Amino acid sequence: MYYAYKYRLKPSDAHREELDRHRDICRQLYNHTLYRLNEYQDEHGELPSMTTLRSELPDLKKWWDGLSDVYSKVLQTVVERLFDNLKGLSALKENGYGVGQLKWKPPREFRSFTYSQSGFKLDKKGGQAVLSLSKLADIPIRLHRAIPDDANLKQVTVKKEPTGKWFATFGVQMAREPPEPPEKPEQCVGIDVGILKYAHDTDGTAVGSLDLSDERDRLEREQRKLSRKQHGSNNWEKQRRRVAECHADLRRKRRDFLHKLSAYYAREYDFVAVEDLNVKGMMESPSNSRNTASAAWRTFLSLLEYKCEREGTHFVAVNPRGTTKECAGCGVSTDKPLWVREHSCPACGFEADRDANAAWNILSRGLEDLGVGHSESPPVETALSVDTPVSAKRVVETGSPTLKERTAQAVSE
């Protein structure tokens, strides 16, 4: 499996200047390669191959002096980057999106370069961990967590963030294979995500959404200050960095929350079922799009999926249609406005929290997709606790006689 390990670099002023110079040379090479690609297409009526453009790099070094100062593998990854962007455009076009053409990169849009396979090494000099980059420098690095001993470092990407800070992201291949998910999972959970409660699962755990109101207020204040600065001035540049730091603070706190929550579910359970949400379509809605973007549901699902694969946990994304309306007790659908937070079934009388009911339906569909949960009586590990449906420890299949009896007893009481 492949993982990414990101660390903060601590370059000196001389290192920063050299890093910026290498980054700008890579940017100019990217623009030159794009020019050669368009020129080749005009002459031959077809796009050149990546090998054709990479083979021109030795001739470029004869008249482009700065190109020889950059490690050869870095130059090759710049050409690969251009063709990766072309593949991305082609994929969008195949999916029906209207796309244009690749454009030249200005300095603010080209922030990274990559060492692939060779030319980099983690070392220790003078008691300080350093990242040795060929033809560049030995740059101090803050290794806040250790890379596993059996990991194989495939590449490193050095990137300058809008805040001006430099980071190194290692592409790591693990020698060991991830564990296989169990054939008969015992610890199962269904998760319903939302705005007021970020996650509500079938174990009765409700995780509140991350409160970032103070950070957003600070961002808005700094953005207003930036709007009053003269564009391009020194004061404007200082204020631009403050705005970038506010954005980075928001992003860092949100991803930290999502990493911790996804790691919890991946490690504590054998089977995790979630909704396969169309977040892009929800973002196009004129209402509540800001809260939807802030929730970052797609990021959470992506993190949860790869962590489940790493931990040997079943991960199933089910169709979200009707999970809120459908009753977890009898399967009857009931329309509920968004402000109605309780589920009350008119057919069987089952009452529960709206999000809890949806989580049970999600788990039921997930078990069905996995091929579990079709017996007449539900297995013990998926049964509701005997107390109340709201404090359920496990889900019961739709239409289960066990749930119907318990619901009828609760209603009579």
Q: Is the dihedral of CA 195, 201, 203, 207 positive or negative?
A: negative
251-279 residue pLDDT tens: 999 999 999 999 999 999 999 998 887 76
The pLDDT score that the predictor gives to residue 304 is 92
Span 361-377, average pLDDT? 69
Find the range with the poorest average confidence among 66-80, 151-165, 284-298, 384-398. 384-398
The pLDDT score that the predictor gives to residue 288 is 61
Span 54-77, average pLDDT? 93
Helix (H) or strand (E) holding 293: helix 289-295
- Cβ neighbour number for residue 100 with a 10 Å cutoff: 6
Phi-psi region for residue 373, left (φ > 0), alpha (ψ -120 to 50) or beta?
left
Contact between 204 and 391 under an 8 Å Cβ cutoff? The reply is yes
- Cβ neighbour number for residue 102 with a 10 Å cutoff: 16
- CB-count exposure of residue 363 (10 Å: 0-12, 13-18, 19+): buried
Q: Is the dihedral of CA 254, 260, 264, 266 positive or negative?
A: positive
Hey, where are the domains in the chain?
A: 2-174, 180-413
**Residue 333: pLDDT band with limits 50, 70, 90:** confident
The pLDDT score that the predictor gives to residue 97 is 77
Phi-psi region for residue 237, left (φ > 0), alpha (ψ -120 to 50) or beta?
alpha
Distance, in Å, from the CA atom of 409 to the CA atom of 46, rounded to the nearest integer, reads: 73
Q: In sequence order, what are the residues at sequence separation of 6 or more whose Cβ sits closer than 8 angstroms to the Cβ of residue 332?
A: 326, 345, 346, 347, 348
**Residue 408: pLDDT band with limits 50, 70, 90:** very low
Span 351-370, average pLDDT? 83
The pLDDT score that the predictor gives to residue 334 is 75
Contact between 357 and 373 under an 8 Å Cβ cutoff? The reply is no
Contact between 29 and 80 under an 8 Å Cβ cutoff? The reply is no
pTM: 0.78
* Higher pLDDT, residue 242 or 285: 242
